[in-house]
Amino acid sequence: MRDIVDRVRPEVHMALVHHPVHNKTGDIVTTAVTNLDIHDNARSARTFGLSSYHIVTPLSAQIELVRRILGHWTAGYGGKRVPTRLEAMSLIRISRTLDETIEAVIAGRNVKPYIVATGARRRATPVVPYAQLRKRMQEEAGPYLLLFGTGYGLAEPVFDLCDAVLEPIGDPDGWNHLSVRSAAAITLDRLLGER
């Protein structure tokens, strides 16, 4: 049975955070933008009907790189050659900080997005099961903002901004090292995929 009858089509945004995130030793760092993170997540975002996909990095050189990639796909030859990719890449936005992302999601409206962090580590803070957030998204239109960390995961200050934290995917006491591309795809499917 597909639960598509009478359900709300929620407004969902996602952000891939390059700062502040942890490195292997737990320091707070800025990671480099990865071309395939841009593409794969944009394709997942488009598949599951997201409203935007924000690349968050404070580094001007990295922002310039993302702009060049986007230019190729949204205004240049790439989008002409593969129009479906243009559709996915059109969802991408660039922010210097998470605050900028949140402002862009609000976009002048009188709304507060429901902000949800993801991560591979088990946390003491309240965790929302996927089924519960999925149900909420079917009942309340949002906006929602899903945060994904690069490197070794979102740094602690990010969690202070969040209304909820999703459970880790896989066994948090076992082997738990999905790529952020795979984790984001699974998260969107669990929340928004047809059942």
The β-bridge partners of 115 are 145
Q: Does 148 bind a copy of itself (CB under 8 A)?
A: no
Q: Which residues, at least 6 apart from 90, have a Cβ–Cβ distance to it below 8 Å?
A: 74
Q: Does 189 bind a copy of itself (CB under 8 A)?
A: yes
Stretch that binds a copy of itself, among 68-76, 96-104, 138-146, 175-183 (CB under 8 A): 175-183
Interface residue with a copy of itself, options 23, 68, 84, 122 (CB under 8 A): 84
Question: DSSP secondary-structure letter at 154?
Answer: B
Q: Does 72 bind a copy of itself (CB under 8 A)?
A: no
Sign of CA dihedral 77, 33, 146, 131: positive
**Under rule CB under 8 A, which residues in 25-54 are in contact with a copy of itself?**
36, 39-40, 43-44, 46-48
Q: Does 132 bind a copy of itself (CB under 8 A)?
A: no
In the complex, minimum distance from the CB of residue 186 to a copy of itself, in angstroms, rounded to a whole number? 5
Taking alpha carbons only, the member of 171, 146, 178, 140 closest to residue 161 is 146
Report the distance separating Cα 130 and Cα 109, nearest Å.
Answer: 27
Q: Which residues, at least 6 apart from 150, have a Cβ–Cβ distance to it below 8 Å?
A: 16, 17, 18, 21, 31, 34, 37, 180
Q: Does 125 bind a copy of itself (CB under 8 A)?
A: no
As given in the structure block, the two tokens for residue 41 are 């997540």
Interface residue with a copy of itself, options 58, 76, 78, 170 (CB under 8 A): 170
Q: Does 183 bind a copy of itself (CB under 8 A)?
A: yes
Report the distance separating Cα 126 and Cα 108, nearest Å.
Answer: 30
Interface residue with a copy of itself, options 20, 28, 88, 107 (CB under 8 A): 88
Report the distance separating Cα 54 and Cα 66, nearest Å.
Answer: 11
Q: Does 193 bind a copy of itself (CB under 8 A)?
A: yes
Q: Does 23 bind a copy of itself (CB under 8 A)?
A: no
Positions that interact with a copy of itself (CB under 8 A): 36, 39-40, 43-44, 46-48, 84-85, 87-88, 169-171, 175-179, 181-186, 189-190, 193-194
